[in-house]
Amino acid sequence: MAIKIISGNAYKEFSEKICKYLNLKLSETIIKKFPDSETYLKCIEKVRGDDVFVIQPTSRPVNENLMELLIIIDSLKRSSVKKIHVVMPYYGYARQDRRSSAREPITAKLVANLLTTAGAERVITVDLHSPQIVGFFDIDVDHFEAYPLFAQHFAKKNLTDVVIVSSDTGFTKRARKFAKLINAPLAIIDKRRDEHSKASVANVIGNVKDKTCIMLDDLIDTAGTIVAGIDALHENGAKEIYVAATHAVLSNNGAKLLNDSPAKEIIFTDTVPIPKDKMYDKFKIISITELMAQVIQRIHDHKSLGELFSWEDKVNVKVN
């Protein structure tokens, strides 16, 4: 049973890097649009009986990339593959994971249902907006977190007087894990959300005066709320401000807002592609492609993923 890697159009560069680590070639496919914008897909290579991994983040354009992913899965299901694994480094619609008022959908659950119905048997993803989304699935989900990679990055900087800052109260649990890993205290940005993608900072909980602050978040979209948090830290006397976020969604002028903020450096992973016109000097990218390649190989070989989940055992980070 061979490994086959199939990529959608969302992020082929990411898929090619994974294949390089695995010493494999991307399986050849035809993906094209009909005149009415419907998507057509065909796998050129035979995949019968193979262990197939489909790589496709559902980032912008979200609906198009999601539909393309579902079509790829359906094509494979009808081709008698051994097993279909979906590698979604970024899970679109994850922020719609609950009903905050009447007559709202839970779209994160709908996407889970669509993937399962299409034929996916496992989903591999990174930093879901809410870890509880794993429970929306009735198939295997391997959910990885990026904070140990951020810890390794900051360990090389020899920073002093470090405080980890949770971007909001809902992110506190993950920020606390990061703070524990690097032996630093925790502060919290207390935000009030008035509408979608807009929030105001009500308070900074914790001492940040004359401290090096590292603000942690799962994604940055329009950047309005994260910049409000950066400004609040700056106004409360922070010495330096760093931002670490897994997914660089960066809608509208979010990238410029970040670059113009008082933050010294903004670190992302490469779970979604960042257009060249949105890459600023303050932005640093940490790749997760080697990790994803290791995950794919271990799953194919029926080996434990425990070591990959327990990254903190491999990270020996202490800040002053």
Q: Which H or E run contains 265?
A: strand 265-269
Same domain flag for 156 and 137: no
**pLDDT at residue number 201:** 63
**Same domain, yes or no: 139 and 25:** yes
Within-domain flag for 79: yes
Q: Residue 196: its pLDDT value, please?
A: 57
Domain count, the chain: 2
In a domain, 40, yes or no: yes
Same domain, 57 and 71: yes
Give yes or no: residues 28 and 46 share one domain: yes
Distance, in Å, from the CA atom of 262 to the CA atom of 258, rounded to the nearest integer, reads 8
Residue 110 in domain: yes
Domain that holds residue 267: 147-286
Res 320: pLDDT? 45
160 in the same domain as 139:
no
Q: Are residues 269 and 301 in the same domain?
A: no
Check if the beta carbon of residue 79 is closer than 8 Å to that of residue 67: no
Q: Do 138 and 155 fall into the same domain? A: no
**What pLDDT does residue 1 have?**
78
Residues 126, 231 within the same domain: no
Q: Are residues 14 and 36 in the same domain?
A: yes
**320 lies in a domain?**
no
**Same domain as 88, residue 163:** no
Q: What pLDDT, on the 0 to 100 scale, is given for residue 193?
A: 62
Cα–Cα distance list, 243 to 66, 82, 151, 166, 272 (Å): 29, 42, 12, 10, 17
Known catalytic residues are 191
User: Low-confidence residues of the chain, pLDDT below 50?
Assistant: 314, 316-320
